[in-house]
Structure 1
């Protein structure tokens, strides 16, 4: 299969066009990519960075890095969203429209702009179903949510056949069977990280978080730091050697945890510091900016000591994840339209 060319993204969208290292040869397989026949018009239009909504005091985003988006984002979003509109049992048309407005495929394409063309649909489908499950768990007790996820895990491993009358089961089963057929080694790495994320969703410690340190420690698992890193490697067909990992861990151990940390920490920090909500947002934006600079210093240190091409791509991918998450969080109705938060 000939590789698709990297399409330029219009400059007015504010995104960089990443250099995508597509393979010269691929193995054709009916399981290699999700079915594509149910494509719909994507729900998002990429907004220029300078037109995105910012916090209430009009403070600009951290702006240290510029996000990029996968060149096939519009097509892939239409394919994946179309499949879920057809197959997922949304409780109402309002919930379905809220799903389309959230832009889960868009954020995946922002996370992984350097993904292989044949793997980005898998990444979009996985993060989409995890978002949908997360919404379902919000209405369950910890005990019920834990049982719900525990039932899915052996299905995801391929140890138990799904109930084909339950979309969450057969979509998960088919998704993981397809990912393993594409690349078993990297798919298995993603699977274990996904289980860590799913267990954190029903972690009872989340109900007793009182300070920012506890929050950040919990969010490292709940936001899916390990999951996103493993999924990035799968999507980019990126394999790091044990030596590569040791260098990265050594550098990272000298600094703060990065990626996906902001989330909903505003109220916790406001309570701790007795600051107003706008003041707390300003403080968190400054903190995110400092983490970005710290990441740059770590990358510079690694590059000076010498690193492989795969490590360089991995570090670039982390930057895209963080800047892409910032871009999406400022534009998706999932977070900005809080009055309609119960649509799911």
Structure 2
């Protein structure tokens, strides 16, 4: 485990720390992943504490302790305001209620955890991309799968820059401008993100979502649906990390292990949101597709029991991460490879911290 990763096993409330950074920013804030709330992660100027537990009947002793620590980019707050203000001005939110939720749900915030060591001039670009993908994902939940595929098919050539957008359609011109800006900053690494983004978009409307899956098949599907390929490419883009095809193949087991962790952590915390979506949105776009329900049915256990078992499984994947990283570095040990693998670890930690704090999951009906 990297010396920058601090194991936090106590229930005491630690302060958020700053640590030296080798990137252009002066410091990166740490946020422990364990049960104790932390004092950082402000949302729209208001301090938000990580919940000490699941909603009742959970308590904090039922969440296994983690050895991971999430890092938060030092330019996060400035960037969050800048990007949120842009979308609040230009995006056609379906309702005032949805618009009021936008900043609170923290899509920019989670990006500042996902790419906590981003070069300063690339952080806002990453945030804009992740936000527009979240917004598109929410739109797809209200569509049939066929409608969603047609919607995405219109956007893909715009993302590539092969077609010009309709400037009267915000999703088109905003997406086009984001990708043009990404390419203007670093064309090579921006173009490397295209296919992972398209794989993510195809997974959102894959008919497999409507099938009854076992846990293994579900995790394989979710590797694309959770957008891990996008997040991995975003690590490389924001850090200007150039890995060869050989290095990416060596790192793939680490990436896949991380994808499982991201998927299941999201499933645990978003279960109530998914149930709400299944009840109120399109019967295909909002279909309930989650490891929590799958394991509960396969193992004949309650939803709460399924969450607890899955949480322990995530902690095992954290241990596997260390083993897989050692194996990868034994094959190819370069500065960019080390930086990439470490940032995958921060991505797991940051995803959990955000999942445990976002009203998107904790209060899906507010």
TM-score (norm 1): 0.84
Rounded Cα–Cα distance in structure 1 between residues aligned with 2:180 and 2:212 = 37
Q: SS at the partner of 1:338?
A: coil
Offset at residue 118 of structure 1 (A): 0.4
Q: Does 2:334 correspond to 1:308?
A: yes
Q: SS at the partner of 2:73?
A: coil
Offset at residue 179 of structure 1 (A): 0.4
1:54: which partner in 2? Answer: 54
2:244: which partner in 1? Answer: 241
Segments of 5+ residues of structure 1 without an aligned counterpart are: 1-10, 24-40
Say if 1:17 and 1:71, in contact at 8 Å, map to a contact too: no
Q: Which of these residues, 293, 318, 321, is aligned with residue 292 of structure 1?
A: 318
Runs ≥4 residues deviating over 6 A: 253-256
Say if 1:200 and 1:222, in contact at 8 Å, map to a contact too: yes
1:134: which partner in 2? Answer: 137
Q: Does 2:226 correspond to 1:200?
A: no
1:93: which partner in 2? Answer: 96
Q: Which of these residues, 177, 180, 184, is aligned with residue 181 of structure 1?
A: 184
1:281: which partner in 2? Answer: 307
Offset at residue 53 of structure 1 (A): 4.2
Offset at residue 99 of structure 1 (A): 1.1
Say if 1:54 and 1:61, in contact at 8 Å, map to a contact too: no
Q: Does 2:332 correspond to 1:331?
A: no
1:123: which partner in 2? Answer: 126
Say if 2:53 and 2:63, in contact at 8 Å, map to a contact too: no
Rounded Cα–Cα distance in structure 2 between residues aligned with 1:253 and 1:20 = 23
Rounded Cα–Cα distance in structure 2 between residues aligned with 1:81 and 1:210 = 37
Q: 1:88 to 1:141 in 2, by over 3 A?
A: same
Q: 1:108 to 1:273 in 2, by over 3 A?
A: same
1:261: which partner in 2? Answer: 263
1:36: which partner in 2? Answer: none
Say if 1:109 and 1:124, in contact at 8 Å, map to a contact too: yes
Rounded Cα–Cα distance in structure 1 between residues aligned with 2:114 and 2:352 = 10
1:108-154 Cα distance to aligned partner (Å, 9 max, x none): 00111100110010110111011111111011011111000000011
Q: SS at the partner of 2:121?
A: coil
Q: Does 2:192 correspond to 1:166?
A: no
2:35: which partner in 1? Answer: none
Rounded Cα–Cα distance in structure 2 between residues aligned with 1:217 and 1:106 = 27
Offset at residue 62 of structure 1 (A): 4.5
Offset at residue 78 of structure 1 (A): 0.3
Say if 1:220 and 1:257, in contact at 8 Å, map to a contact too: yes
Offset at residue 46 of structure 1 (A): 5.9
Rounded Cα–Cα distance in structure 2 between residues aligned with 1:120 and 1:315 = 19
53-62 vs 200-209, which moves further: 53-62
Offset at residue 91 of structure 1 (A): 2.1
Offset at residue 100 of structure 1 (A): 1.4
Q: 1:236 to 1:266 in 2, by over 3 A?
A: same
2:44: which partner in 1? Answer: 43
TM-score (norm 2): 0.79
1:195-245 Cα distance to aligned partner (Å, 9 max, x none): 110011110111103321121011000001111000110011111123322
1:305-324 Cα distance to aligned partner (Å, 9 max, x none): 56101111101110111110
2:276: which partner in 1? Answer: none
The number of aligned residues is 311
Segments of 5+ residues of structure 2 without an aligned counterpart are: 1-12, 26-41, 268-290
1:322: which partner in 2? Answer: 348
The residue correspondences of 1:145-160 to structure 2 (distance < 5 A) are 145-160=148-163
Q: SS at the partner of 1:67?
A: strand
Q: 1:128 to 1:285 in 2, by over 3 A?
A: same
Offset at residue 63 of structure 1 (A): 1.7
Backbone CA RMSD of aligned residues: 2.3
Say if 1:42 and 1:81, in contact at 8 Å, map to a contact too: no
1:5: which partner in 2? Answer: none
1:250-285 Cα distance to aligned partner (Å, 9 max, x none): x55997854412033211110111111121111011
Q: 1:338 to 1:61 in 2, by over 3 A?
A: farther
